[in-house]
Amino acid sequence: MTPPASPAPAPAPAAGALACPACGAATVAGDRFCEACGADLPVTTAAAPAAAAATSADPAPAPTPQPEQPEPDYAADLAPPGPPCASCGADWTQIQDRYCGVCGMKQPAPRDHIEVSCEGVAAVTDRGRRHHRNEDAFALRATDGLPVVAVVCDGVSTTVDPGLASQGAADAALAVLAGGGDLNAAHAAAQAAAVAVTDVPPPPDLGWPSCTFLAGVVHGNVVHLGALGDCRSFWLPEAGEAVTLTEDDSWAAEQISSGAMSPADAYRSPLAHTITRWLGRDADPGWAPRLSEFRPGGPGRLVLCSDGLWNYAEQAADVAAAAAGEGDALQVARRLTDFANAQGGRDNVTVVVIEMKGPNTMKESS
Amino acid sequence: MTTAAGFSAAVFQNEFLADGATEVNAVITVTAAGGAAAGAASPDKAVLLIVDTSGSMENPSSKIRAARRAAATACEMMPDGAWFALIGGSDRVVCLYPPSGELARAGEGTRAEAAAIAAQLTGGGGTAISTWLDLARGMLQPFEGGIKLAYLLTDGENRENENEFQRAIQRATGVFQCDARGVGADWHVSELRQITSALLGEVEIIKDPDEMDDDFRAFLERAIGKTVADVRIRMWAPKGSTVRFVRQVAPTIDDLTPKAKAVNELTAEFPTGAWAGDESRDYHVCVDVPPGAVGDEKLAARVSLMVGPDAVSQGLVRAVWTDDDALSTRINAQVAHYTGQAELAQAIQEGLQARKEGDIDTATVKLGRAVQLAAQSGNEGTMRVLRKVVDVEDERTGTVRVKRTVEKLDEMELDTRSTRTVQVKREAP
């Protein structure tokens, strides 16, 4: 099996690219905005490159973009042409200030929608319908013969630059896990990355850059999960009942587990989704991810997602219903993303789907 | 966004539209910042004074005497290096100074010569304004790229074929700018407004000949202040959209929509004339765009300020579709204010027209609405003149009585004053 990485449809910028993805102008590494058109730049090289690098057929896993590779010698005046208008297809030269010069449609930011897939594994992240940016991030390693590693981080929207925190954390965790480190080490690296985003104190109405954390490692028929915050993992078996594999660090979850409120009452509260643990500079050093192990009894789909999905599918059975149907991992991940958007798309939504064959099949294939 | 040329543009709008909505409104404030624009090399400047020398100016003779003084003052104020001329107009037109009929270069000698000739103005004959405009056009046409300003003073109605008049205005359009002044009560506001609307100027009344000197002086001061020639608004709107209007809304209301010149399928330019190094004008644009889906964001208009071939500043008018009524029903204060000011001008003009036609009921409703709008927006200047035409019972509700007898001068003053707006207190864009 040689799993090809297929990021689509938003073309993922090449790691270390020096051209603005919106207008094609030359940019300086580390810039957050394009000087020419003001478009957001994929500062942390987005999820796709990390995943693309990791999903390559290279037998030695390359978990993160390799900075030591000689930098391509782009000539500033030979900036590659950008994509055509995402709405009317007008030529890229028509796009100015990120708007199409024919139909006027604002062009999507690189992170607005990213898809990555290879055989049996897919990830989709989407801005949703309401938010102006996608502050979710994922990182993925799916290389033949090696454990599948997936990380989902959800930027906390009441903080400064949550999108930087989430992408940095996801990439850092992936690097540790792909290198053989454990989930606690991955959490520590993700926490360090979220802290490293900035040391400039945030304005009074915002918090330090923060995000949630969910990492999964699938080795044969064994799933290891580490979770902090409110990203969730679900098991959707081909036969039998769907299961929620994670526990939220949220106000509602605390009320329910302490017996103070019924689940129905807790989730009706406006505080329900307030998270009680996160990554970032103001995270408590004592917070550790909840670790769990799961061995499916048969074939099915493992889902890792941000709350942009489960806001609309609180129960595992709801997720299973929304995912139900034919299709490969990418089609299922898209179906769940579309479901969240059709329900209102109130938040960024990220969905990772990993197909699992169950214990018997694994023996046959090995 | 401020540019090297010293212009900046700020956009005020509520970009949020309800699902299915198509109409996008925005107010764009364009400001020329003093130093930068003034520091650049100013283009050549030509200033024409066109003074009515028909027989009626002698009756009463206070008019021609005031015109002599005022024109002489204006000639003496001509800035060094400017090109100028003094034109006398009746049923025929004569370039009084310089006698050659070509523009004179302002200097100590030419100023004194021109002032001496201005002091000898005499009246005789009728009024054929088309000939005045044609002569001015012929003299100013060669000044490609320069600032070309004319000031036209008359005291009576134009005595010529309406078509003749219209065609002369058309010929002059785009060649030079022209302010117009009517002295006394025997001229028609609508007639001079046709000139100033096409030639990017303003029409005002000089109620008393004694005010003429100050008015000429003020014109010259404004003319001296102009430093940037031929500024245009270039507006792009997306394919499938309709530009409902582009309207200057401050300092005065002037509908630019009919002045559109197509640049390409999606872009048109609107002339705004010459600018001083420190002035600010507001524009209200209204565009119908093809509706987007909830969550979509489109550029509804790109408004650029053009000086020569260069875009010196631009503002982006956006449209964002939302299903959140709290966002889409918000009304931008600037847009609301200038929508009201435009309605105020219209209510005054329609009210005065109705009164003229003896339809007091309509006049009462329209002028009542005008009082209400003037009060709401704090347009005290217009309110002061409105009070000369109506007795106000309640400003808030617009309850008024049209006065039985109104001075014709007051009525004309209200008409000319109707397009003058006030700016609204700024909020953050």
Please report, for the domain that includes residue B261, its CATH number: 2.60.40.3670
Output the pLDDT for position B244: 97
Residues from chain A contacting residue B298 (CB–CB below 8 Å): 99, 103-106
* B245, B257 contact by CB (below 8 A): yes
Domain end, chosen from B227, B246, B273, is at: B227
B241–A99 C-beta distance less than 8 A = no
Identify whether residues B110 and B187 lie together within a single domain: yes
Identify whether residues B268 and B380 lie together within a single domain: no
Identify whether residues B55 and B185 lie together within a single domain: yes
Residue in chain B closest to A105 (alpha carbons) equals B298
* Percentage with pLDDT > 90 across chain B: 89
B300 interfaces chain A, CB cutoff of 8 Å = yes
Please, where are the H alpha helices in B103-239? 108-118, 129-140, 162-172, 189-198, 212-225
Report the 10 Å Cβ neighbour count for A105: 21
Lowest mean pLDDT: which of A253-257, B24-28, B61-65? A253-257
Output the pLDDT for position B1: 41
Identify whether residues B77 and B208 lie together within a single domain: yes
Residue B79 gets which letter from DSSP?
P
The pTM (predicted TM-score) of the whole model is: 0.73
Given a cut of 50, whether residue A60 has pLDDT beyond it is: no
Please, where are the H alpha helices in chain A? 47-54, 162-178, 183-195, 251-257, 263-268, 307-310, 316-323, 329-342, 359-365
Query: For residue A25, is it within any domain?
Result: no
Residues A175, A188: Cα–Cα separation, whole Å: 12
The pLDDT tens digits for B160-189 are: 999 999 999 999 999 999 999 999 999 999
Q: Which two tokens mark A69?
A: 């590779």
For an interface test with B, the pick among A103, A112, A134, A346 (most B C-beta atoms closer than 10 Å) comes out as A103
Rounded to 10 degrees, what is the CA torsion of B377, B382, B383, B389? -140
Q: Of A96, A106, A130, which has the smallest distance from its Cβ to B298's Cβ? A: A106
The pLDDT tens digits for A264-293 are: 899 888 888 899 999 999 999 999 999 999
Residues from chain B contacting residue A97 (CB–CB below 8 Å): 299, 302, 316
Query: For residue B366, is it within any domain?
Result: yes
Output the pLDDT for position A20: 59
Q: Of A96, A102, A106, which has the smallest distance from its Cβ to B297's Cβ? A: A106
Output the pLDDT for position A57: 35
* 3-state percent breakdown (helix, strand, coil) of chain B, nearest 5: 35, 30, 30
Domain end, chosen from B329, B364, B394, is at: B329
Residues A163, A116: Cα–Cα separation, whole Å: 18
Query: For residue B427, is it within any domain?
Result: no
CA distance A131 to chain B (A): 9
Q: Which two tokens mark A102?
A: 């024919």
Lowest mean pLDDT: which of A34-43, B240-249, B273-282, B394-403? A34-43
Residue B6 gets the label, from left (phi > 0), alpha (psi -120 to 50) or beta, of left
The pLDDT tens digits for A194-215 are: 999 999 999 988 999 999 999 9
CA distance B235 to chain A (A): 12
β-strands A232-237, A243-244 pairing: antiparallel
CATH number at residue B396: 1.20.120.1690
Given a cut of 60, whether residue A235 has pLDDT beyond it is: yes
A97–B296 C-beta distance less than 8 A = no
Distances (CA, A) of B251 to B200, B417, B424: 13, 11, 11
Domain end, chosen from B209, B227, B245, is at: B227
Query: For residue B323, is it within any domain?
Result: yes
B316–A88 C-beta distance less than 8 A = no
Query: For residue A238, is it within any domain?
Result: yes
Query: For residue B2, is it within any domain?
Result: no
pLDDT, average across residues B201-225: 96
A97–B298 C-beta distance less than 8 A = no
Query: For residue A49, is it within any domain?
Result: no
Beta bridge partners of B303: B235, B315
* B311, B256 contact by CB (below 8 A): no
For an interface test with A, the pick among B11, B19, B22, B297 (most A C-beta atoms closer than 10 Å) comes out as B297
Output the pLDDT for position B6: 84
B294–A104 C-beta distance less than 8 A = no
Residues B77, B323: Cα–Cα separation, whole Å: 60
Query: For residue B213, is it within any domain?
Result: yes
pLDDT, average across residues B149-155: 97
Identify whether residues B31 and B54 lie together within a single domain: no
Query: For residue B424, is it within any domain?
Result: no
Residue in chain A closest to B293 (alpha carbons) equals A129
Query: For residue A279, is it within any domain?
Result: yes
The overall longest dimension of chain B from CA atoms, in Å, is 71
CA distance B292 to chain A (A): 9
pLDDT, average across residues B307-325: 93
Residues from chain B contacting residue A38 (CB–CB below 8 Å): none
* A140, A121 contact by CB (below 8 A): yes
A101–B236 C-beta distance less than 8 A = yes
Average pLDDT, chain A: 82
Beta bridge partners of B95: B87
3-state secondary structure of B368: helix
B292 interfaces chain A, CB cutoff of 8 Å = yes
CA distance A104 to chain B (A): 5
Quote the domain boundaries for residue B401: 334-417
* B249, B341 contact by CB (below 8 A): yes
* B315, B351 contact by CB (below 8 A): no
Identify whether residues B189 and B291 lie together within a single domain: no
Beta strands per DSSP E along B159-309: 177-183, 203-206, 226-228, 231-236, 242-250, 254-255, 261-264, 267-271, 275-276, 279-288, 297-307
B406 interfaces chain A, CB cutoff of 8 Å = no
The pLDDT tens digits for B234-293 are: 999 999 999 999 999 999 999 999 999 999 999 999 999 999 988 999 999 999 999 999
- B378: enclosing H helix or E strand: none
Q: What is the DSSP string of A250-319?
A: BHHHHHHHTTSS-HHHHHHSTTTT-BS--EETTS-TT--PEEEEE--SS-EEEEEE-HHHHTT--SHHHH
Give chain B's radius of gyration (CA, Å): 23
CA distance A85 to chain B (A): 12
Output the pLDDT for position B63: 96
Distances (CA, A) of B386 to A55, A278, B208, B254, B336: 77, 65, 19, 20, 22
Distances (CA, A) of B337 to A306, B72, B252, B282, B394: 45, 42, 13, 11, 21
Amino acid at A111: R
Query: For residue A189, is it within any domain?
Result: yes
B266–A103 C-beta distance less than 8 A = no
| ipTM associated with this complex | 0.82
Output the pLDDT for position B414: 96
Distances (CA, A) of B10 to A350, B238, B427, B428: 37, 20, 11, 10
Using 50, 70 and 90 to split pLDDT, how confident is the model at A52?
A: very low
Given a cut of 90, whether residue A103 has pLDDT beyond it is: yes
Query: For residue A151, is it within any domain?
Result: yes
Identify whether residues B320 and B338 lie together within a single domain: no
Residues from chain A contacting residue B319 (CB–CB below 8 Å): 104
Query: For residue B23, is it within any domain?
Result: yes
Closest to A129 in 3D by CA, of A365, A340, A358, A351: A340
Residues from chain A contacting residue B239 (CB–CB below 8 Å): 88, 102-104
Give chain A's radius of gyration (CA, Å): 20
For an interface test with A, the pick among B11, B239, B289, B294 (most A C-beta atoms closer than 10 Å) comes out as B239
B145 interfaces chain A, CB cutoff of 8 Å = no
B295–A345 C-beta distance less than 8 A = yes
Edge-to-edge strand list for the sheet holding B23-32: B7-12, B23-32, B279-288, B242-250, B254-255
Identify whether residues B235 and B368 lie together within a single domain: no
Query: For residue B428, is it within any domain?
Result: no
Output the pLDDT for position B295: 84
Output the pLDDT for position A29: 52
Identify whether residues B234 and B360 lie together within a single domain: no
Amino acid at A96: Q
Query: For residue A80, is it within any domain?
Result: no
Residues A169, A189: Cα–Cα separation, whole Å: 7
Identify whether residues B162 and B192 lie together within a single domain: yes
B232 interfaces chain A, CB cutoff of 8 Å = no
Given a cut of 50, whether residue A53 has pLDDT beyond it is: no
Given a cut of 80, whether residue B386 has pLDDT beyond it is: yes
Report the 10 Å Cβ neighbour count for B360: 13
Residue scoring higher pLDDT (A75 or B307): B307
The pLDDT tens digits for B319-368 are: 999 989 999 999 999 999 999 999 999 999 999 999 999 999 999 999 99
Residue in chain A closest to B300 (alpha carbons) equals A104
Q: What is the DSSP string of A150-185?
A: EEEEEB-TTBSSHHHHHHHHHHHHHHHHHTT--HHH
Residues of A with CB under 8 A from a CB of B: 88, 96-97, 99-106, 129-130, 345
Identify whether residues B96 and B173 lie together within a single domain: yes
Residues A84, A143: Cα–Cα separation, whole Å: 32
Query: For residue A31, is it within any domain?
Result: no
Domain count, chain A: 1
Give A260's Cβ-side CA count (13 Å radius).
9
CATH number at residue A357: 3.60.40.10
**Residues, chain A, total?**
366
Residues from chain A contacting residue B240 (CB–CB below 8 Å): 103
Residues from chain A contacting residue B289 (CB–CB below 8 Å): 104
Residue in chain A closest to B235 (alpha carbons) equals A101
Closest to A308 in 3D by CA, of A339, A263, A354: A339
Residues from chain B contacting residue A22 (CB–CB below 8 Å): none
Using 50, 70 and 90 to split pLDDT, how confident is the model at A224?
A: very high
Domain count, chain B: 3
Given a cut of 60, whether residue B33 has pLDDT beyond it is: yes
The pLDDT tens digits for A138-193 are: 999 998 889 999 999 999 988 988 999 999 999 999 999 999 999 999 999 999 99
Q: Of A88, A102, A104, which has the smallest distance from its Cβ to B289's Cβ? A: A104
Identify whether residues B222 and B236 lie together within a single domain: no
Output the pLDDT for position A65: 41
* Percentage with pLDDT > 90 across chain A: 62
Residues 35-54 of B with CB under 8 A from A: none
Beta strands per DSSP E along B323-419: 390-394, 399-402
Place of tokens 């209204």: B286
